[in-house]
Structure 1
Amino acid sequence: MNLNTLRTSVWLLTALLASPSLMANDMNPTIQPATDQAVTDEGLPSFYPQLKQQMTYSDSWLSGNFTDFSQWQAQSRETLRSLLLTPDSTKDFAPQAIEKQDRGSYTAEKVAFNLTDESRVDALLLTPKSAGPHPAVILLHDHGAKFDIGKEKMIKPWGNNEQLDSAQAWADKFFTGRFVGDELAKRGYVVLAVDALGWGSRGPIKYEQQQALASNFFNLGRSLAGLMAYEDMRATDFLASLEQVDKQRIGVVGFSMGAYRAWQLAALSDKVAATAAVSWIGTYDGLMTPGNNVLRGQSAFYMLHPGLPTRFDFPDVASVAAPKPMLLFNGGKDKLFPTQSVEDAYAKMHKVWQSQRADSKLQTKIWPELGHVFYQEQQEEVFSFLDQWLKP
C-alpha cells in the first residue's frame, strides 16, 4: 500500500467514525424509508397535513391583516379576478333571438350571444309581459354528473321531448317537480340561464373527461374553474344590458355547484345586488376529508383555482360580497357537506357581515331533515328573500 492509499483509508475511517447515524444505517438493515414520501388512498400526498397547516388564508378579512374593509374588498376582488387566468373579452354580445314560446304571463326565448371572444352560446331567457324594467335573476345550474342538460335544469325546455323528459326528471328529484326559473318569471323577474362548458348545448362531456379537460386548460395557460367564473360574470353583464332589466336589481340563484358559482359571482361582480346559494358552502379544512368530492379530482376542477386556497377559505371568498344581501341554505342530511364544516363557514361569514354592521343582510339556515336538494319550501323562502331586496 502506497502512502496516498494509506492516507485515503485513514480519512474514510475517520469520517465513518464521526458519523454514527451513517454507521447505524449501514449496520441496521431494518430501518424503513420516510413515510412522507408516499400518496394516500385519497390521492393526497402523505405530507398533506403539513401543507394544510400552511393554508393560513392570509388574505381573509378575518386574518387581522386589514383594517379598511373597502380597501380589502377592492384588493380581494382584484386578486380573485387575477386567479381566474382568463382575460377580459372584447366582443360585443350581439344577441340574436332563435325562437320564442308564450307561457301566459311571460315569454320564453332561446337566444344566442357572444359569451366570450371564443364562445357564442345558446341561452334561455324568460321575460314577464308586464311593463318593465323588471328585477332580474341569473340562474346557475348544478353539476350532478348529468351533462345532457344544464340551463334546462333551471328553465323548462321545449321542442325536444327527450330533453324535456330529462329536465323534468331532474326537477322531480331535486326541485319538487318545479322549474325555478319559471317560478321566478311568474313572480315578475326576467330570468337568464346559460350552459357551463360541458353541459347541454356545450356538451355533453363524459364524467371521466373532466380531468383531461381541466389539465388541457392548464396546458393552455388557462383554468377551467376560471373560465366558468368569468363566463358567469359575462352572463350577468349580458343580462344587465337588456333594456327590460333594471340594472340595479339583479340577483343570482344557484343550487349545488351553482351555489358555489353564485357566491363566487357575488364576490366578483358589482352588478349582483342579492345572492341565494343552496347546497354548497363549507370550509376547506372541513371538506378535505376522506370520501368528499373535493378530493376526487374530476368534478372538483370546475371549482379549483390554482393558488387560491393558501390565501382565501371558501367563506372568505363569499365574504368579499359583504355587506350585500346573501342567503345560504344547506341540508342537515347532505352527505357532501358535513354539518360542522357548513356551520364553521356560516360563522366566519357572519363575523364579516357583523363587522360591517350588516348581519341582518346575511341569512343562513341548515334544514335538518333535508339532503342535497332545493325543495319547494326552500324555494319559497328564497323567493321571499329576493322580493325583499330586489323589488321596490
Structure 2
Amino acid sequence: MNWTMDAMLKQLYEHTAADRRQAIRTTSPEEKRAGLLKKLKQALGTLPDRNFPLHAQLIDRVDYGDFILEKVTYSTMESVDVPVWLLVPKGKERPLPAVLACHGHGNGMRDAMGFDEEGQELDDAGIYNRFAVQLVRQGMIVVIPEIMGFGDRRLANELKVCSSSNNSCAALASHLLTYGRTLAGMRVYEAIRAIDYLQSRSEVDAGKIGVFGFSGGGLIGAYTSALDERVKATVLCSWVNTFQGSVLAMPHCIDNYLPGIMLEAEQPEITGLIAPRALFVESGEYDPIFPVKDTRNAITILLETYTEWGVPEHLESDIHPGKHEISGRVSVSWLYQRLSE
C-alpha cells in the first residue's frame, strides 16, 4: 500500500485543469478578460478603501550625483504608514516616465538599491543587480515602497531577529485570511496606492507609468498591472511560470497562494490579464524555483493570449544565462522605450 498523498494532489490538478478546459467558451478576448479579472479580485480578498488620504511627507533628500533619492512616507490605510524611496534623475526634461519597483523577499527596498541595512552601497549587487538604479539612470522616476512584511515593515517581534532575510509573510498571511483578506491582495492594494502617489507628483508623466517586479515582487507587479490599467508597460523578472511547475512543485512562501485560484486559471492566464498592454518576461536559464522549461511554456501561452488580442509584438522576453536574479540587459531599456512611446 502507498499511504502518501501525492496521487491525490496530482489527480486534483488534472481534474481541475480538465474542468477549466471544459468551461472555456468561445468569447472575445475582452469578455474572457472581464470574467477572469472578476475572479482574480475575488481571490485577492477584501481590500481597504482606496479613498484613504495618503498624506505624503518628505523625510530626507540625498544627492547621488546623477539622481536624487527622496525618502518619503505616506499612509495607505488607518494605522499604516509606509516608508518609500523615490529616485528622480537629474538633468532630464520633465515630466518623466515613472516606474513602480516591486522588490521580492529579502531586505526590503534596500535590496532594490544594493544597500545594506545602514544605507551603504554593498560591494556585491546581489540578485537584485541594483535594478532601481538601472531604471533611474535610464531616465525614469522610480518609486520603491517597502512592501508589507519585509525590512522595516515586519511585525515588531520579528524585527528583533537579527536577520535581513527574516520576514513576516506567514504571520501576516494567517491573520489576514481569518478576516477574508490575503497578503497578496493587501500588497497589490498598496502597489496601486504607490501609483496614486506617482500620479500626484508634478515631475511624473501620469500617462507613462510602468511596473518592474522581481520574484515575489513579480506577483505583485503582475496582479497590479492586471487590475490597474494606468500601467502602460510591465516587466516581470523571475516569476512568470506555471503554478504546477513552481509554487505547487516545491516549497514557496505562503504569499504566493490565493484561495481557489486554480479553479479559475493557471498562472500564465492570470498574467495574460495584462494584455493587450506591453509585457516583458525575464528569467534565468538556471532559476531553481521558477524552472525555465515552465517559464518557456508560460511564454507560449502568453503569446497565444497576445495573438488573440492582435498584438503579439506587445509581448517580449529574455532568458538570460543566470539563476534566480535580475539581469536587466534588455528589460530596463525595453521599459524605457515602451514608456517613451
Interval containing the TM-score (normalised by the shorter chain): 0.7 to 0.9
**Which residue in 2 is equivalent to 1:388?**
337
Return the alpha-carbon distance in structure 1 between the equivalents of residues 69 and 334 of structure 2: 24
Q: Which string of whole-angstrom CA distances, capped at 9 and with x for unpartnered residues, describes residues 36-81 of structure 1?
A: xx554xxx6x521221123228678x96424122232233223212
- Partner of 1:213 in structure 2? 172
**Contact 2:149/2:168 (<8 A) preserved:** no
Structure 2 residue identity aligned to 1:168: L
What is the rounded CA distance, in whole Å, between the counterparts of 1:118 and 1:268 in structure 2?
25
Q: Give 1 or 2: higher strand fraction.
A: 2
Partners of 1:93 and 1:209 in 2: CA distance:
24
* Match of residue 8 from structure 2: 47
1:283 is matched with which residue? 242
Q: 1:358 maps to which residue?
A: 311
Whether the aligned pair in 1 keeps the contact of 2:282 and 2:331 (CA below 8 Å) is: no
Aligned 1:139-178 pairs, distance under 5 A: 139-143=101-105, 146=106, 149-155=107-113, 162-165=117-120, 168=122, 172-176=125-129
Cα gap change, 1:240 to 1:230, in 2 (>3 Å): same
8 Å contact kept, 2:169–2:183 = no
Q: Is the 8 A contact 1:98 1:109 kept in 2?
A: yes
SS at the partner of 2:210? strand
Aligned partner letter, 1:180:
F
Aligned length: 331
TM-score w.r.t. the length of structure 1 is 0.77
SS at match of 1:83: helix
The residue aligned with 1:113 is 74
**How far apart, CA to CA, are the structure 2 residues paired with 1:214 and 1:151?**
20
Q: Report matched runs for 1:1-16 at 5 Å.
A: none
Shift of 1:105: 3.2
Contact 1:90 1:117 in 2 (8 A): no
Tell me the alpha carbon deviations over residues 266-294 of structure 1, each in whole angstroms, 9 at most, x when there is no partner.
Answer: 1111011001111112112222565x234
> Is residue 98 of structure 2 the alignment partner of residue 136 of structure 1?
yes
Code of the aligned partner of 2:143: L
Answering whether residue 45 of structure 2 is matched by residue 91 of structure 1, we say no
Query: CA offsets per residue over residues 314-363 of structure 1, 9 Å max, x none?
Result: 11111001011111011111111222211211111010001112111101
Task: Indicate if the aligned counterparts of 2:214 and 2:237 stay in contact, CA closer than 8 A.
Answer: yes
Quote the residue 1:371 is aligned against.
323
* Residues 58 and 70, structure 2, Cα contact 8 Å, conserved in 1: yes
* Residue 208 to residue 202, structure 1, CA distance change in 2 (3 Å): closer
What's the counterpart of residue 233 of structure 1? 192
Q: Is the 8 A contact 1:57 1:313 kept in 2?
A: no
Partner of 2:37: 77
- Could you list the per-position Cα deviations for residues 128-173 of structure 1 after superposition, in whole angstroms to 9, with x for gaps in the alignment? 3334111000100011xx3xx211111355xxx74335x626x522
- List runs of 5+ in structure 1 lacking aligned partners: 1-31
Give 2:150's aligned residue.
199
Quote the Cα distance in structure 2 between the aligned partners of 1:134 and 1:59.
43
Is the counterpart of residue 243 in structure 1 residue 202 in structure 2? yes
Cα contact 1:112–1:123 (8 A) shared by 2: yes
Higher CA-based Rg: 1
Higher helix fraction: Structure 1 or Structure 2?
Answer: 1
3-state DSSP class of the match of 2:290? coil
> Taking structure 1 as reference, are residues 58 and 150 closer, same or farther at Cα in structure 2, changes over 3 Å only?
farther
Picking from 252, 257, 261, the partner of 2:216 is 257
Calculate the TM-score normalised by the size of structure 2.
0.88
- 1:185 is aligned to 2:136: yes
Give deviations 1:209-255, integer Å, cap 9, x for gaps.
Answer: 64343222112232112211222222122212222111111111112
Specify every segment of 5 or more residues in structure 2 that has no aligned partner in the other structure, as ranges: none
**Amino acid paired to 1:99:** D
Identity %: 26
Give the structure 2 partner of residue 126 of structure 1: 87
| 8 Å contact from structure 2 (residues 67, 88) kept in 1 | yes
Contact 1:154 1:180 in 2 (8 A): yes
Q: Distance in 2 between matches of 1:271 and 1:211?
A: 31
